[in-house]
Structure 1
Amino acid sequence: MGQKYNRLDKDQAALLLVDHQSGLISLVQDFTPDDFKNSVIALADIGKFFNLPTVITTSFDEGPNGPIVPEIVERHPEAPFIHRPGQINAWDNEDFVKAVEATGRKQLIIAGVVTDVCVGFVTLSAIEAGYDVFVVTDASGTFNHTVQQAAWNRMSAAGAQMMNWFSVACELHRDWRNDMEGLGNLLSNHLPNYRNLMTSYFTLQDAKKG
C-alpha cells in the first residue's frame, strides 16, 4: 500500500526561499536562465497570492554569493530576511530556525540555489525536525542534471515531496471556484500559453454579457 496522500494546505504551509542570490544563480545550469528566473518569481507570486508566511535567507551576501534577487523582496517586503554570516546549511542559523518556527506552520515549501546544498541540507534538517517538506524543483537549480537527480533522490528518500511551482499553486488552490480569475492571471503571467487560455475565457465571458 502506498503512503497516504499528504497534500499542501494553504493554512498549514510556509514558504522558504533559500539563497536565490545573483552570484549563486550564475551556477545554475540545469535550467535556462529565463526559465529559472520565471519559476523563482512565479513561486514568490504564489506565496503572495496565498498569503503564505514566507522566510527569506541569504548566505554570505556581501561576498561572491551576491545579493538576493530583488523581485523576491519586492513581493515579500515584510517577510523575515535572514542574512546568514557564513552557515552553509541555513538550519544551522538560529535566527533562521526561529523565523521558521514563528510561522507556526508544519508544511514547508522550499526552493533555493543550489539544489544539492542550500536546498538539500535545509530539507534534510527540517524533516529531521518534524516538518513536512515540499521541494519546488523548477525554482531550485544546480550545476547539471546529474547533480540535480542525485539531490532529488536524496531528499525524496528522506521523505520530501518533489513538486513544480505550477503543481504547488494548483494544490494550494484546490478548487477553481475559490478565485478562478485571480489564479488564472497569476498563471498566465508566467505561462504564455495560459495567457492564451485566459484571453479565450474573457472573450467568451464578454460575449455572454453582450
Structure 2
Amino acid sequence: MAIPENSQLLLVNPVPSYLNQLDDELAGQMLEQFLRLSSAADQARVPRYFAVSQDIDKREAWLSIPCEKNKPRVFHFGHDRPVWSNADLIRAMLQEDREQLFICGFWLDDVVAAAALEAQSLGFNTHVIVDLSLSFNPQTRQTSFDRFSQFGIVPIALQNLLYEWMVKTEDDGCRKDLETFWKEQKRLDRTPICDRLNGSD
C-alpha cells in the first residue's frame, strides 16, 4: 500500500506539447489529473521530482510545477539517453530515503517504461501511474504491462494512489483534502473517457 511518508514521485516530461497529440477531451482530462496529483502530493508532503529532456524549457507551462525553490527538483537528460543517466537525479531521490517510487509521464512505451525498469535495479519499489502514462502507440500498451509484471513493477491507477495516501495519513486536515481529491478522481473514473485513460488510448 502507498504510504505518504515512504512515497516520492517522478514525472517524466510533464509538458503540454505532448497533449497536443491528443484530442481536446482527452488532453483536458490528462491536464486535470496531473494537477490533481500535484496538489495531492503537496498536501501529503510527497516530494515530486522531474526528469525533463534537455530540449524542453518554459517551466511555467508544465503540467506540474516544481514547488520547492530551495531544493533541486528538476533534472535533465539527453533525448537519446535514459532518465537515470543523470547521476544527480539518482543521488537526490535516493537521499529522500523513500523506497516507494511512483512514475508517470510521456510516453509509457519508451521513456517511462525504461525509467521504471531501471528504477528497480536502483532499489526502488516501483509503480507506474497508468492513467497518467499514455502510450504513443496504443498497440504496445499491453506489452509494457507484461514487462512490468515480469520485473515486479506495479501498475496503479491515480484513484487507488489517492485513496491509499488518504487512509495512511494521520493528519486530519490533510486527510480531508486528500479525500476531496480522491472523490474528484472517482467521479472522473466513472466517465467514458476513463476507458481511454486506463485501458486503451
Q: TM-score, normalised by structure 2?
A: 0.78
The residue aligned with 2:73 is 80
The residue aligned with 1:55 is 49
Q: CA RMSD in A?
A: 2.7
Alignment-mate amino acid for residue 45 of structure 1: S
The residue aligned with 1:4 is none
Partner SS, residue 73 of structure 1: coil
Q: TM-score, normalised by structure 1?
A: 0.75
More off after superposition, 76-85 vs 138-147: 76-85
CA offset digits 1:54-90 (Å, max 9, x no partner): 211211234xxx655534116x244611122445421
Tell me how far apart the structure 2 counterparts of residues 187 and 159 of structure 1 sit (CA, whole Å): 26
**Bigger Rg over Cα:** 1
Q: Cα distance 1:14–1:175, how it changes in 2: closer, same or farther (>3 A)?
A: closer
Q: Cα distance 1:139–1:67, how it changes in 2: closer, same or farther (>3 A)?
A: farther
What displacement does 1:24 show?
Answer: 3.2
Aligned to 1:149, which of 142, 150, 153?
A: 142
Alignment-mate amino acid for residue 44 of structure 1: S
Tell me how far apart the structure 1 counterparts of residues 45 and 125 of structure 2 sit (CA, whole Å): 19
Matched, 1:97 2:82: no
Q: Cα distance 1:14–1:128, how it changes in 2: closer, same or farther (>3 A)?
A: same
How many residue pairs were aligned?
183
Tell me how far apart the structure 2 counterparts of residues 136 and 102 of structure 1 sit (CA, whole Å): 23
Alignment-mate amino acid for residue 93 of structure 2: V
CA offset digits 1:121-156 (Å, max 9, x no partner): 111001122210111000111224322222222122
Tell me how far apart the structure 1 counterparts of residues 129 and 108 of structure 2 sit (CA, whole Å): 10
CA offset digits 1:62-120 (Å, max 9, x no partner): 4xxx655534116x244611122445421111122112112111110111100111211
CA contact (8 A) 2:13 2:106 kept: yes
The residue aligned with 1:182 is 177
Q: Which runs of 5+ in 1 are unaligned?
A: 1-6, 195-210
Tell me how far apart the structure 2 counterparts of residues 176 and 122 of structure 1 sit (CA, whole Å): 28
Q: Cα distance 1:161–1:143, how it changes in 2: closer, same or farther (>3 A)?
A: same
Tell me how far apart the structure 1 counterparts of residues 144 and 82 of structure 2 sit (CA, whole Å): 15
Q: Which runs of 5+ in 2 are unaligned?
A: 190-201
Tell me how far apart the structure 2 counterparts of residues 22 and 53 of structure 1 sit (CA, whole Å): 21
Alignment-mate amino acid for residue 131 of structure 2: D
Q: Cα distance 1:23–1:41, how it changes in 2: closer, same or farther (>3 A)?
A: same
Give every structure 1 segment of 4 or more consecutive aligned residues whose post-TM-superposition deviation is greater than 6 Å.
none
The residue aligned with 1:138 is 131
Q: Cα distance 1:38–1:97, how it changes in 2: closer, same or farther (>3 A)?
A: same
Aligned to 1:70, which of 57, 62, 85?
A: 62
What displacement does 1:21 show?
Answer: 2.1
Q: Cα distance 1:15–1:176, how it changes in 2: closer, same or farther (>3 A)?
A: closer
Tell me how far apart the structure 2 counterparts of residues 171 and 110 of structure 1 sit (CA, whole Å): 16
